[in-house]
Amino acid sequence: MLEEFLEANAELFKDDYIVVKLDYSQGMKRVATVARALGWEGARGVPWMAILDADGKELITSDGPNGNIGYPIAPPEIQHFVTMIETTSQKAPPANISAIARALAKNAARYRGK
């Protein structure tokens, strides 16, 4: 779900972010090493995200006040995702951040309805 969301809304993220997906299920070598270096622990669940600066320094992760937000569906999870973008974006206009929040809320309503 997260991968699909990021792809569908790539235009909103393109000025600030390069999305790199690490996937255990795809047999990528050294995923565990990289994930641990970023601070991920399997108990936190998936998907798990970290936003890094240009030097690879962690700026924020998907670990919100109640743990990993995964793909954000609940309002506090959506708020943490938006906070991740608000605190790390350097180029995106506020309208893009608002559009991200609306898109997450729309998708969340669809998934909660299942």
Q: What is the mean pLDDT of residues 44-51?
A: 86
Cα–Cα distance for residue pair 19/65, rounded to 1 Å: 24
Between 57 and 22, residue with greater pLDDT = 57
What pTM, to 2 d.p., does this model score?
0.88
Structure tokens at 102: 């609306």
Average pLDDT across the chain, whole number:
89
Crossing angle of helices 75-88 and 94-112, in 10° steps, is 160
Span 64-108, pLDDT tens digits: 999 999 999 999 999 999 999 999 999 999 999 999 999 999 999
Structure tokens at 40: 């991920």
Q: Which of 101, 78, 93 is nearest to 15 (CA)?
A: 93
| DSSP bridge pairs for 50 | 61
Dihedral of alpha carbons 6, 21, 52, 1, sign: positive
| Residue 67 phi, psi (nearest 5) | 105, -170
pLDDT confidence bin for 21, thresholds 50/70/90 = confident
The helix/strand/coil state of 110 is helix
